[in-house]
Amino acid sequence: MNSLPKILIISLLISAMAFLLLKYIGTSSLVIPSSITEVLEFVVLLAAIIAASVISSKPSTPSKGETGTVKWFNLKKGYGFITRDQGDDVFVHYRNIQGKSRRAISEGQRVKFIVIDGDKGLQADEVEAI
């Protein structure tokens, strides 16, 4: 799961390296932006990389919302699985649980959620007890 601060930091580093590389190719020397034009070139490059990073880091279009039943949830480990009403199981982590039952959900409990494409495959997000 990518967070915005992480995206911004990585984009800034990539932009700086790309800017320096492009300037080096053009002048055969490393140049730090000193004129307004060079600063604007850097800002445009940074904005383009941030925009591309944010767009590409969005999860594939999540479903509008689903319901399912908690198959199991391990309180100590903070994760478990939800069986979707359509049959397959989806991973759930305690960070993705909302409401009063933020830390845990119980086996057999009915929940509503959306499905996102996480780091390790499909996972439930915005999980709420029904």
Q: Which SS3 state, helix, strand or coil, does residue 7 take?
A: helix
Q: Are residues 53 and 77 in the same domain?
A: no
Task: Provide the token pair at 10.
Answer: 């990585």
Counted residue by residue, the chain has a size of 130
Domain range spanning residue 40?
4-57
CATH code of the domain containing 102 = 2.40.50.140
Phi, psi of 112 (to 5 degrees): -115, 150
pLDDT at 50: 84
Q: What is the pLDDT of residue 116?
A: 92
Judged against a pLDDT cut of 60, whether residue 1 lies above it is answered with no
Chain segment 60-98, per-residue pLDDT in tens? 554 578 999 999 999 899 999 999 999 899 999 999 999
Note whether 110 and 77 are same-domain residues: yes
List, for residues 27-52, the tens digit of each pLDDT value: 888 777 788 988 888 888 888 888 88
Same domain, 77 and 53: no
Model confidence, pTM: 0.51
Structure tokens that stand for 120 in this block = 């390790």
How many domains is the chain built from?
Answer: 2
